């Protein structure tokens, strides 16, 4: 919305007005709240689990494996201090040398999706690729969570 429109809305009594400079597409891709006809349409960000374990590249693999398994998960997102996704640990990589650093075994630059991705489309992509999950990030790479295909399929079946 333009600054002029924001000021006009404020002058009409609206109190929650923002001048979001990056634009509507970035707003949606950041998983920020939306209104309107499609607001309740299931999207990746609304189904993604936000409780995914995270670790740093310099963490010891043994510590990360324990943390991940204790959380009853099989994926750990490798992030920096700002929660920007740098990599992913899963499968055999979690069960390597416990003294190794995460950075030495992580999958760098994993495939991600945006929170506004329609659930039907991302589920089809996951199915076609025979992948059980995908990390969900904002347009600047900040971790939102992890979308499990089984969760997406369940939500789609309910709708």
Q: Does residue 5 surpass a pLDDT of 90?
A: no
The class of domain 44-158 in CATH terms is alpha beta
pLDDT in tens, 37-87: 666 778 899 999 999 999 999 999 999 999 999 999 999 999 999 999 999
Taking the CA atoms of 37, 38, 42 and 48 in sequence, report the sign of the dihedral they define: negative
pLDDT at residue 29, as a whole number? 63
pLDDT at residue 24, as a whole number? 63
pLDDT average, residue stretch 99-105: 96
Q: Compute CA distances 32 → 11, 93, 105, 138, 154, whole Å.
A: 24, 33, 33, 10, 23
Query: What confidence tier does 99 reach under pLDDT thresholds 50, 70, 90?
Result: very high
Could you tell me the residue ranges of all domains in the chain? 44-158
Q: Which two tokens stand for residue 154?
A: 């369940």
Q: Which two tokens stand for residue 90?
A: 């899963």
Integer Cα distance of 156 and 135 in angstroms: 19
Integer Cα distance of 52 and 36 in angstroms: 30
Query: What confidence tier does 3 reach under pLDDT thresholds 50, 70, 90?
Result: low
Provide the mean pLDDT of the chain: 88
Share of residues in the chain with pLDDT > 90 (%): 67
Integer Cα distance of 93 and 139 in angstroms: 27
Q: Which residues pair with 112 in a beta bridge?
A: 135
The whole-model pTM stands at: 0.80
């Amino acid at each position: 919305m333009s600054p002029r429109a924001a000021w006009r809305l404020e002058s009409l009594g609206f109190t929650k007005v923002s001048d979001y400079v990056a634009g509507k597409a970035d707003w949606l891709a950041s998983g920020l709240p939306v209104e309107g006809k499609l607001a309740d349409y299931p999207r990746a960000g609304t189904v993604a689990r936000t409780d995914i374990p995270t670790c740093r590249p310099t963490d010891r693999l043994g510590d990360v494996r324990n943390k991940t398994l204790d959380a009853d998960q099989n994926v750990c997102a490798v992030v920096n201090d700002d929660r920007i996704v740098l990599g992913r640990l899963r499968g055999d990589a979690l069960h390597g040398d416990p003294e190794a650093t995460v950075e030495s075994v992580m999958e760098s630059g994993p495939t991600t999706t945006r929170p506004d991705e329609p659930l039907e489309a991302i589920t089809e992509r996951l199915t076609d690729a025979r992948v059980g999950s995908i990390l969900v990030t904002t347009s600047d790479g900040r971790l939102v969570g992890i979308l499990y295909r089984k969760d997406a399929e369940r939500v789609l079946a309910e709708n």
